A and B are shown apart, each in its own frame.
Chain A
Amino acid sequence: MEGILQSVCSGFLMGGVYGSVAAGLAIIYGVMRIINFAHGELVTIGMFVAFWCSSLLGFDPYISMLPAGIILFGFGYLIQKALINPALKRTTEREPLTLLLITAGISMILINVGVLIWSDYPKMIRTSYSLSSIGIGTLRFPVTRIIAFGVSMVLIGGLYLTLLRTEVGRRMRAASQDREAAKLMGINEEHVYCLAFGVGAAIAGMAGVLLSTIFFIKPSAGEIFVMRSFIIVVLGGMGSIPGALVGGIIVGLIESVGSQFMNPVYAEMLVFILFIFTLLIRPSGLLGREEV
């Protein structure tokens, strides 16, 4: 019983972090209808920024959230401006499916450049609190995971409020609801797309910093987050930020509690099966708008 309670709690904590990675994907999908296959690599870049900041400059890894956010915002903005916007302009299709292969190409390039330069040898960040944990009753919570969960909630909440309350957020929502109408209302859609990709990338990068104290750091570290983020985004509702959080926690719980009862591979499979059922029964996701 205690084991189950412990795994529920750690699944919940981990799920929150998954949620923030997926929220970055959700905003990119929500605004542009493009699935970002390079999302995992953006997380990896965040992890590497944290690693360099702490190993070369001696910063606490969490301080590097600021540079990671700025660097990845710029990177995402540039990807959209230099690669995806020109392709979007040429396509006549409503759902530009071939465009998602651009992000697959970016992902291939990023991983392999990383392996070429730094090799795929795993690195770690050691801090004074890496191994410490907080106990409540008989349950133990590693400090790094609690921080990761807490900051993730701030990130998701901040993103949600930005979308809901600010002018930029309103423009993004307008562009996502109706491209043509938004254009007619004088919204510079290309600029909005760049901003959306930038913000999505920045969230991924900052989540990467949070994950850098939990996982090994290597160029292919982000791979496992890509498919998981797709699933979370579909579960929660494509483009919905609160949906990403709910989806993330569901996936985190299934993974962690499922592994208590069965081979972890089958627990992972359970996540995929849930994903397919969601697509069939409620393709718009748990918290998504009806639109499919």
Chain B
Amino acid sequence: MMKTLTKFKPNLLLIFFLVLMVIPLFVKDQYVLQVIIMAMYFAYLASCWNIVGGFAGLFSLGHAAFIGLGAYGSTILFLQYNISPWLGMFFGGFLAVIAAVIIGYPCFKLRGVYFAISTLAFVSILQMVFTATRNIGNIELGAGEGLVIPVMDQSFWMFQFFDKKYYYWIILCMLILITVVVNKIRHTHLGYFLLAIHQEQDAADSLGVNVRKYKLLSWCISAFFTALGGTFYAQLLLIVSPERLLSVPMSIELVIMSLIGGIGTIAGPILGAFLLVPLGEVLRAQFGGQFAQIQAIVYGAIIIAVIIFLPTGLKPQLEKGLQKFMSIFRLGLKEQQ
């Protein structure tokens, strides 16, 4: 028994998810739940980004486009045809995959910075289209003000709840799902191909890896799941507006979270989101209102500091610290024997 204990390597992510499952049983404070919901939401999106940004080396600054399409897709179906957002979610995902093919297929020719700014340009175009268009035929798009989802009765089928804990459970399931998906990708041939493409595209190509196919596949998977997140966000806030959802800062935020946690690791984006979202809340509570800008200033300073001092993100550092701790712990156990 002692032996298994000394060899025990804790799966921190699993423990983390177990803790998240238990929290709503004890915490009833809606504000606290809301903060954790937002942290999980961003952890989910950053994990989606990580599939392309971390594994495939497709440094996308355009993921807000997929969030926006997911949110608009489900909301339009709901408002026009009264179709449940649960089904609309997949319609949004479908739209995002189409957009991903349209954006991705030509842009994969481009590398590095060129790819990054062309994805950025696509977000800007979508934002302009949605800001300028009031309706297409008889489908309302709401132009700059966006679409408002009317408040209805609490209903699972209509994706509306008065108590935050239901949103909490939904986004927790989504986060676990995406983590499983990312884990699966990482440890199957797709993941190995993506890493090969990331590190040395020409070498991967000459060894017979179909570079374009795997790039596109990972890009579409990422876009689809990102769009599901967009629907969740729309149902949580009951409003879809181009100004926030389809914005460049939104795109950049996902990248920043992955970066702070550790790009290309499974736990990194989750770690990044769970650090930055609560930090943002604390800053807002401290300096809200008149000094609202302080939050953004601190954010900016953190980004710069992390890139300069911890270019691989926090996760590897944490792991090192944990290993040290575990080795001391094990030593203690042995001495007791």
Contact = CB atoms under 8 A, between A and B. Distances in A.
Interface stretch (A90-98, A126-134, A200-208, A251-259): A90-98
A116 B287 CA distance: 11
Contacts of B297: 108-109, 112-113, 116
Shortest Cβ-Cβ A-B pairs, 8 listed? A108-B300, A112-B293, A105-B303, A95-B112, A109-B300, A265-B132, A105-B300, A105-B304
Interface of A: 29, 33, 35, 83, 86-87, 90-91, 95, 97-102, 104-109, 111-113, 115-116, 227, 230-231, 234, 263, 265-266, 268-269, 272-273, 275-276, 279-280, 283, 292
B60 to A, nearest CB: 11
Q: Which of A29, A104, A115, A273 has the most CB of B within 10 A?
A: A104
B293 A98 contact: no
A255 to B, nearest CB: 13
B300 A272 contact: no
B121 to A, nearest CB: 5
Interface in B244-281: 248, 252, 255-256, 259, 263
B113 A102 contact: no
Given A87-B311, A101-B303, A269-B129, A292 B121 contact: no
Contacts of B255: 101
Chain A binding surface, main DSSP class: helix
Given A105-B301, A275-B118, 19 more contacts: A95-B111, A97-B116, A98-B263, A98-B311, A99-B307, A104-B300, A105-B300, A106-B300, A107-B300, A111-B296, A113-B297, A115-B293, A227-B124, A265-B132, A279-B114, A280-B106, A283-B109, A283-B110, A292-B110
Interface string B71-111: 00000000000000000000000000000000000110111
Q: Which of B111, B113, B125 has the most CB of A within 10 A?
A: B113
B117 A230 contact: yes
Interface in B282-315: 291, 293-294, 296-297, 299-304, 307-308, 311
Contact of B118 (A29, A86, A104, A276): A276
A112 B300 CA distance: 10
